[in-house]
Structure 1
Amino acid sequence: MAFGLWAFLSIADEMAEGETRGFDTAVMLAMRTADHNDPVGPAWFEFAVRDITALGGYAVLSLVTLIAVGFLIATKKYADALLLFAAIAGGDLLSESLKMGFARPRPDLVAHVVEVSSASFPSGHAMVSAATYLTIGALLARVQERRSVKTYIHVTAVLITLMIGVSRVYLGVHWPTDVLAGWCLGAAWSILCVTAAGWFARQRSATLSA
């Protein structure tokens, strides 16, 4: 958690000083053909990336959150349900607040393949998807007994988060450092919330056994 927060602050500091422009430009242009408005790959791949990026959109994340919270309530895990809702809502609020604070313009180097309206830093898709999928993954893995199942759940959550972030750069709507910062802070936030949930669960268990 501390590493994620430190990494976010380091990226934010470098970005504010203009030191990330070279890195951002090189990575973004690597995802373009000679025509900077044309992403590399066939048309079907671009459509697939648009579908992937939708996994980090507010509509999908809200639906995933409601389904997960509903499941936790149905299984009488009320504390976990509250924690999950607070983690995702808090992550979104933090993301939007930081966007307004940094007010970094969206990339102007290439054409945007999808419509965007908010500021660029940090990437809301990267940050909130990390907070959502990593937290859900951690809660699901916690109740599994087999290590292989736990690993599968964690790896799946991480891969979904990574794909969503990369899709934002590919589609030209975020600088790479926007996404890196979003991943770092979203993961740190998720770890904080999951750690808090574990602490409350141990306290509740100790109280019931006393």
Structure 2
Amino acid sequence: MIAQPHRRLPLRMLTAALFLVGLVGLAALTTLTALVLARDGRPFGVDSALHNWVLTHRHPALDRFGVDLAVTGTGAPAYAIAALAGALATGTRRWWWRGALVGMTALALAELLRISLATAIARPRPPRADWLAYASGHAFPSGHTTTSALLAIGLSAALLRRSHRPPTRAAAVLGPALWAVAVGVDRVYLGVHWPTDVLAGWLLAALIGCALLTQLGALTRALSSSPVAWWPTRRWRPRPEPSGDRDA
């Protein structure tokens, strides 16, 4: 009875940490958005400087790699990673598909939020002549960056549930994180985003992740532990009549 509060302490600490990180992310994203709107979407000095530096330091081998890397951060590959993260989070072979549905649904809702924000801000992209790959929609925040960062958060959380040794736990965090950072930097290298678009994508992903990570984790655990309650597999049958003599 006395040890029960101590078992809940790590969860409370995690919730508090996520709240603080989310609060900082919200403040930073709000400030950056206000600055972008105040400039009518025009790039900052650091945006132009880094963009021009990239244009003068491109290499054909990196160009091809950058185009291929961008494919992993959107569309079918992104939803496949979201499904994988959700399936791993369930921790069961039988009901993995429920976690996969949760992962894909969560990503779709996050994408809807990002697209709505980007449409409202309507920041133009860098000049079309500087692009190495086609891009659609508005620039702020970067869609590839937001998606890959969210996937990295979800995949790391799912892998950590299955990792117990320090090396594997470190790999579960570093692997997805490095991939997400590479996708974000790649958007600047390809010339389709300003650096502050990428920064906004990371901030938005951090904010969404902090707000939903614990809830999604609880949902996937609930779906794997009580499958009948979530998706009935038996036909409905009338309740039996109570036993005994009705005329008594």
- TM-score, scaled to structure 1: 0.83
2:102 counterpart of 1:62: no
Pick from 21, 36, 43 the counterpart of residue 44 of structure 2: 21
- Residue by residue, what CA displacement relative to the aligned partner does 1:14-38 show, whole Å, maximum 9, x if unpaired? 11122852111011111121xxxxx
Structure having greater relative contact order (Cα 8 Å, sep ≥ 6): 1
Q: Matched residue of 2:133: which SS?
A: coil
- Distance, in Å, in 2 between the alignment partners of 1:47 and 1:190 is 31
Identical-pair percentage: 30
CA contact (8 A) 2:82 2:104 kept: yes
Cα displacement (A) at 1:10: 1.6
Structural mapping, 1:33-112, within 5 Å? 33=56, 40-69=57-86, 72=90, 74-76=93-95, 80-108=99-127, 111-112=130-131
Moved more, 186-195 or 66-75: 66-75
Moved more, 106-115 or 192-201: 192-201
Query: Could you tell me which residue of structure 1 aligns to residue 210 of structure 2?
Result: 191
Structure 1: 5+ residue runs without aligned partners? 34-39
- TM-score, scaled to structure 2: 0.71
Cα displacement (A) at 1:198: 4.2
Between Structure 1 and Structure 2, how many residues are aligned? 201
- Distance, in Å, in 2 between the alignment partners of 1:27 and 1:110 is 16
Moved more, 15-24 or 42-51: 15-24
Q: Matched residue of 1:92: which SS?
A: helix
2:55 counterpart of 1:32: yes
CA contact (8 A) 1:14 1:20 kept: no
2:149 counterpart of 1:126: no
Residues 30 and 11 (structure 1 numbering): CA distance in 2 closer, same or farther, change over 3 Å? same
| RMSD of aligned alpha carbons | 2.8
Pick from 14, 19, 24 the counterpart of residue 3 of structure 1: 24
- Residue by residue, what CA displacement relative to the aligned partner does 1:58-93 show, whole Å, maximum 9, x if unpaired? 132123234444565735357744542333112111
Structure 2: 5+ residue runs without aligned partners? 1-21, 227-248
Cα displacement (A) at 1:172: 0.6
- Distance, in Å, in 2 between the alignment partners of 1:70 and 1:80 is 5
- Distance, in Å, in 1 between the alignment partners of 2:93 and 2:221 is 21
- Distance, in Å, in 2 between the alignment partners of 1:117 and 1:78 is 31
- Distance, in Å, in 2 between the alignment partners of 1:143 and 1:193 is 20
- Distance, in Å, in 2 between the alignment partners of 1:7 and 1:80 is 32
Query: Could you tell me which residue of structure 1 aligns to residue 235 of structure 2?
Result: none
Residues 22 and 104 (structure 1 numbering): CA distance in 2 closer, same or farther, change over 3 Å? same
Q: Which has the larger radius of gyration?
A: 2
Amino acid at match of 1:31: V
